[in-house]
A and B are shown apart, each in its own frame.
Chain A
Amino acid sequence: MDLYTIAFYLFAVITLVSASIVVFSKNIIYSAFALLFAFFGVAGLYVLLMADFIAVTQLMIYVGGILVLVLFGVMLTTRVINVDMRTGTIQTLPAVLIVAALAGTLVGVFWTTDWRIMPAFPGFEKTAPRIGELLLTSYLLPFEIASVVLLVALVGAAMIARREKKAS
């Protein structure tokens, strides 16, 4: 066992344990905060895969953006308006069907993919310059489409926020 293997299992355990808290906890605030450790563990796994840019992006987008948004939602409803938010089990049959389909797809992808296993690099390769170069050459169209979608989302959010202000 070298440090790399220990780090891998450490991050894997962090991810799996906190992800199961997210799913199984009855208290929604615990779910929301456990999400932090799940995202953190996944970021650690990305680092071990030498994908440092993806790892930091994961922290920035998911922890700094999405998680804070989720927490805002949960906090404002439970503590300020005093709604007791609990998670329960409803709609069992459709849930089972959808989860089974999703799990089947994932397992199918997992088995049919031709995983390319490469020996680890001796050191970190610089990933950011190559990602930048590829995004502005080979993958320019998807990149631009994503940015337009984000812009539309921003304009839409501003529209919704503004309309509410006028009504009140």
Chain B
Amino acid sequence: MEAFQNLGFWGTLLVTIVLSALPLVFVLLYALVTIYLEMKVAAHVQDRVAYMRTGWHGVLQPIADFIKLIQKEDIISVAANKKLFILAPYIVFMGTYGAYAAIPFSSIFIGANIDLGAFFIIGISSLVVVGILMAGWASNNKWSIFGAVRSAAQMISYEIPTALAVLIAVMITGSLNLQEVTKFQAGGIQNWLIFGGPLPLLQKILITPFTLITFLILFVASLAEVNRTPFDLPEAESELVQGFFTEYSGMRWALFYVAEYANMFLVAGVAVALFLGGWESPFGSFLSGPIWGLFWFIIKGMVLVFLQIWLRWTLPRLRVDQLMYTSWKVLTPFLFVCIIAIGLILVL
């Protein structure tokens, strides 16, 4: 932000607004692409073809869906708590979008290059839990409330493995700033943290199995954080209709939906920045630079998003007790072992 000093009051305000709206443009475009991708991947996994009529292979379908959504009637049920019902989608989206401030899209673009990036993302995401509880409670519907309670319990449980996995990356790089974590992994694919980072050879060989496990656990935990299959109990269609947003329709429902998709890229982005080299090119200095950085970051993020979609249409859903078992008795102890092992290897 050094380039934007001395602009006066209105200049600073304008630059702030434009810069904070840039990720929003990305999120909306990305949501359109991913909704199409989700439906197509789902169809091909299930041996169907999905949309074929609106445009070439149905590429205009998300836009048609969007137009349909904005002209839908805004329904708020009589027994719902109107104030909280209206407020809830905004809080959920605020929590998701707030975290985008600390996502390093490229070497020259990050919303707020704060020293505590990774910590900030975990902190601001807790707004999402509150928003979901608000939506569930305000809807005055049994399905909504069960969905909301499940979702909150799941998200705060899986925050622990997520935070521990982030801690491991922070231990190795020595910084919470995602921009610096990314720069630490410069020099090509072999220097990514998933392969142990740029450490001396002996340490690298010892540390790689643990960082690999950590990355896998981070990915699994992030699936639960964004309520995706196999952890989609909050909106299990077969049991809870639509979970906490059963009562929502039209644009309010769309806001939840966009927040969910934005969240998918958010967790993918964090995993990419921490373990997959962020915006650094996989070929060292070949094809690197600010614009290529943006390209690499989005490509890596989209690969993880694709993996999330693939898993959603492949795996069945876990039961509530299995969900808690996975978090507390499998992922968390494994991460503690990884933390101790990596700590010992680092002081070698």
Contacts and interface: CB of A to CB of B under 8 A. Distances in A.
Interface string B131-175: 001101100100001001100100010010000000000000000
Given A68-B152, A75-B133, A75-B149, A128 B176 contact: yes
A59 interface: yes
A71 B13 contact: no
The residue among B119, B125, B126 with the most chain A CB atoms within 10 A of its own CB is B126
Interface string A29-40: 100010010001
Nearest to B139: A79
Interface in B76-107: 81, 84, 87, 91
B116 A3 contact: no
Interface string B56-90: 00000000000000000000000001001001000
A64 B129 contact: yes
A26 interface: no
Interface stretch (A50-58, A87-95, A112-120): A50-58
Contacts of B130: 33, 36, 63, 67-68, 71
Contact of A64 (B87, B137, B159): B159
Interface residues of A, number: 28
- The B contact surface, by secondary structure, is helix
A37 to B, nearest CB: 10
Contacts of A64: 123, 125-126, 129, 156, 159
B134 A56 contact: no
A128 B175 CA distance: 10
Given A64-B159, A75-B137, A127-B115, A59 B123 contact: yes
B171 to A, nearest CB: 12
A66 to B, nearest CB: 10
B311 interface: no
B102 to A, nearest CB: 10
Contacts of B199: none
Given A29-B137, A128-B116, A68 B156 contact: yes
Nearest to B146: A80
Contact of B114 (A40, A52, A76, A79): A52
Contacts, number: 82
B124 interface: yes
A52 B152 CA distance: 26
A2 B9 CA distance: 7
Nearest to A127: B115
- The A contact surface, by secondary structure, is helix
B127 interface: yes
A60 interface: yes
Given A3-B12, A59-B126, A72 B120 contact: no
A36 B92 CA distance: 13
The residue among B124, B130, B152, B159 with the most chain A CB atoms within 10 A of its own CB is B130
A64 B159 CA distance: 10
Contact of A60 (B87, B122, B133, B140): B122
Nearest to B124: A59
A124 interface: yes
A68 B137 contact: no
Contacts of A1: 9
A109 to B, nearest CB: 29
B5 to A, nearest CB: 10
Interface in B250-282: none
Contact of B115 (A29, A36, A57, A124): A124
A150 to B, nearest CB: 14
Contacts of B134: 33
Interface string B110-122: 0000111001101
A68 B120 contact: no
Given A68-B156, A72-B149, A72-B152, A56 B120 contact: yes
Interface of B: 9, 12-13, 16, 81, 84, 87, 91, 114-116, 119-120, 122-127, 129-130, 133-134, 136-137, 140, 145, 148-149, 152, 156, 159, 176
15 contacts: A3-B13, A36-B127, A52-B116, A56-B119, A59-B123, A60-B123, A63-B130, A64-B125, A72-B152, A75-B133, A75-B137, A76-B149, A80-B145, A127-B115, A128-B115
Interface of A: 1-3, 29, 33, 36, 40, 52-53, 56-57, 59-60, 63-65, 67-68, 71-72, 75-76, 79-80, 124, 126-128
